[in-house]
Amino acid sequence: MLMPHLDEAKKRTKNKVLVRKFEIDDKFKKIGVGKTYYVKTYGCQMNVHDTENIKAILEEMGFKENDDMEKSDLILLNTCAIRENAHNKVFGMIGRLKHLKEDRPGIITGVCGCMAQEEVVVDEILNKFKFLDFVFGTHNIDELPAILYEAISKNKTFIDVKSIEGDIVEDMPVKRDSKYKAFVNIMYGCDKFCTYCIVPYTRGKQRSRRIEDIIKEVESLKKDGYKEVTLLGQNVNAYGKDLNLDYDMSDLLELVAKTGIERVRFVTSHPWDFTDKMIDVIGKYPNIMPYIHLPLQSGSDRILKLMGRRYTKESYLELFDKIKKAVPNASITTDIIVGFPGENDDDFLETLDVVNKCKYDSAFTFIFSPREGTPAAKMKDDTPLSVKEERLHRLNEVVNKYALEANQKYLDKEVPVLLENVSEKDDSMLAGYTDTMKLVNVKASKEYLGKIVNVKITDVKTWSMDGEIA
């Protein structure tokens, strides 16, 4: 029984990060034979990618995937702790699992991911949801075989959550969702400690993967026919800072571009570490996609300071202009939080002002959600929820207006689209993304799947476009 502790998780040890290879003991390889599994994912791309690893590990244990949760023998929830509503959704689902377990007592149920790193969550599970078989965290995914082995042999909830990050595990098996696009982790954890954010606690200290391991993975993906890689990290621009070597994100980006893989993307970029050298590299390589997610969070200097973001409205706008100048066709999207503790109408108007200046291609907007254990959760917050909701509504109207305007520029133009899915509603339609990350529905036969084709845009909406093969 290893319980999580956020206070421990806050610590940043000087321990050298070890790199080791994934291993699975033969004795675990038969546990799942004849059984099926279902994993539900709640979080960000990192969480989605963790699920891809989890699925492959389960398959090495003999389990087979089942799309129908109700009929699966093993059900695992890979959770997200970023906001209260993610938390509530998971507990809603745990309630449903309880009924399933009553009907089919033989099933195995578990919880993993970022919520598992929070002691309030694990306490609640131990008090109210004792039927769950196991809980593990973000730092020991590779130990899943041993955890399941223990869980099955016990008749109480087996908890195995490490608060301090573990090693970097290379060569983890992976069952990718797509045959054409792949996520590649370049770093784990985050050391930025924005005051509202739980991630530095649930994901531990920043640990960059070795550059040679990343390049090896990209090269092998290219060999397997992948067209696109997305380099993943909470804060990719800080890549390498923890390695104390003489290369950084711009060097990594350049090496990844030089592998010749057709499309390179990266998320998320914190404005703080966005260097001129990076902007040069993005502008120089045609296979680095002209799409940048540049979270703003707030346009008010006072709020940015309280958030611990370490940039100002002015320096953000400067960076934004620099990127637009170097990569003129770039689409830029953002994240914004309204209703941070103490945010007043003037602060909010500053945020709107930045949105009006940047005219983002799109934005994810959120109402501040206090996360227990973070500094912002203790700050005085006397703005009524109705006022926060109204700000969110006003913000969304402006964001949507610019999203539509940005899309309208594409009308009648030809753009490259990687066609990756058959539409669920109409199987004569394929869907994919432009280089600038716009979703396009295209009338095209299945032979185009997995290809990057020029598409003429025939209609635009706020969140997607329609087109035909040019």
Residues that bind ligand SF4 (CB under 6 A): 190, 192-194, 197, 199-200, 234-235, 270
- CA atoms 100, 105, 106, 112: torsion sign: positive
Q: Which C-beta is closer to ligand SF4: that of 209 or that of 270?
A: 270
Q: How far is CA 346 from CA 48, 299, 397, in A?
A: 37, 10, 18
> Residue 442's CB: how many other CB atoms inside 10 A?
22
Give which of 111, 153, 113, 147 is closest to 129, Cα–Cα: 111
At 241, give phi and psi (nearest 5°): -60, -35
Q: Which is nearer to ligand SF4, 197 or 332 (CB)?
A: 197
Minimum distance between the CB of residue 282 and ligand SF4, rounded to whole angstroms?
20
In the list ligand SAH, ligand SF4, ligand F3S, none, the entry touching 359 (Cβ below 5 to 8 angstroms by class) is none
User: What radius of gyration do the chain's Cα atoms show?
Assistant: 23
Which residue is nearest to ligand F3S, using beta carbons? 43
CA distance 297 to 364: 10
CB-nearer residue toward ligand SAH: 308 or 416:
308
Q: Choose the contact partner of 337 out of ligand F3S, ligand SF4, ligand SAH, none; CB within 5 to 8 A by kind.
A: ligand SAH
Query: Which residues sit at the interface with ligand SAH, rule CB under 6 A?
Result: 82-83, 196-197, 199, 234-235, 268, 270, 295, 297, 335, 337, 366, 368-369, 371
Decide: helix, strand or coil at residue 460. strand
**187 phi and psi angles, rounded to 5 deg:** -155, 160
Axis-axis angle for helices 211-223, 249-258 (nearest 10): 30
Q: Residue 230: name the closest of 292, 142, 172 by CA.
A: 292
Which helix (H) or strand (E) segment holds residue 257: the answer is helix 249-258
Nearest approach, Cβ of residue 45 and ligand F3S (Å) = 8
The binder of 366, among ligand F3S, ligand SAH, ligand SF4, none, by C-beta within 5 to 8 A per type, is ligand SAH
When CB distances are held under 5 to 8 angstroms depending on the partner's kind, the choice from ligand SAH, ligand F3S, ligand SF4, none that residue 116 binds is none
Which tokens belong to 127?
């008090």
State the minimum distance, in angstroms, from the CB of residue 427 to ligand SAH.
34
* CB of 257 or CB of 307, closer to ligand SF4: 307
Please tell me the distance from the alpha carbon of residue 435 to that of residue 285, in angstroms, as a whole number: 13
Residue 102: which residues within 8 A CB-CB, separation 6 or more? Answer: none
For the stretch 378-417, what's the b/e string if a residue is b when 16 or more beta carbons lie within 10 angstroms of its beta carbon? eeebebeeebbeebbeebeebbeebbeebbeebeeeebbb
87 binds, among ligand SAH, ligand SF4, ligand F3S, none (CB under 5 to 8 A by kind): none
Closest approach of ligand F3S to the CB of residue 115, in Å: 8
d(CA 265, CA 133): 38
Identify which of residues 227 and 270 has a Cβ nearer to ligand SF4 in the complex: 270
- CB-CB contact of 145 with 24 (8 Å): yes
- Report the residue number, 80 or 249, with the smaller CB distance to ligand F3S: 80
**Please, which residue, 74 or 114, has the CB nearer to ligand SF4?**
114
| Pick 218 or 336: Cβ nearer ligand SAH | 336
Residue 193 contact partner, candidates ligand F3S, ligand SAH, ligand SF4, none, CB within 5 to 8 A by sort of partner: ligand SF4
CB of 337 to ligand SAH, least distance (A): 5
Shorter beta-carbon distance to ligand SF4: residue 283 or 375? 375
Retrieve residue 117's tokens.
């790193």
Which of ligand SF4, ligand SAH, ligand F3S, none does residue 305 bind to, with CB < 5 to 8 Å depending on kind?
none
Q: Which does 263 bind (CB under 5 to 8 A by kind): ligand SAH, ligand F3S, ligand SF4, none?
A: none
Residue 267 or 323 having the CB closest to ligand F3S: 267
Distance CA 369, CA 388 (A): 11
CB of 82 to ligand SF4, least distance (A): 8
Residue 386 phi/psi, 5-degree rounding, is -60, -35
Interaction site with ligand F3S (CB under 6 A): 43-44, 46-47, 80-82, 113-114, 198-199, 202-203
Instruction: Give Cβ neighbours of residue 385 (< 8 Å, ≥ 6 apart).
Output: 339, 367
* Residue 202 binding partner per list ligand SAH, ligand F3S, ligand SF4, none, with a CB distance cut-off of 5 to 8 Å that depends on partner kind: ligand F3S
Least distance in Å: CB of 46 to ligand F3S? 5
Report d(CA 415, CA 187) in Å as an integer: 32
Q: Is the dihedral of CA 8, 10, 12, 17 positive or negative?
A: positive
Residue corresponding to tokens 């799309």: 67
The entry of ligand F3S, ligand SAH, ligand SF4, none near residue 80 (CB within 5 to 8 angstroms by kind) is: ligand F3S
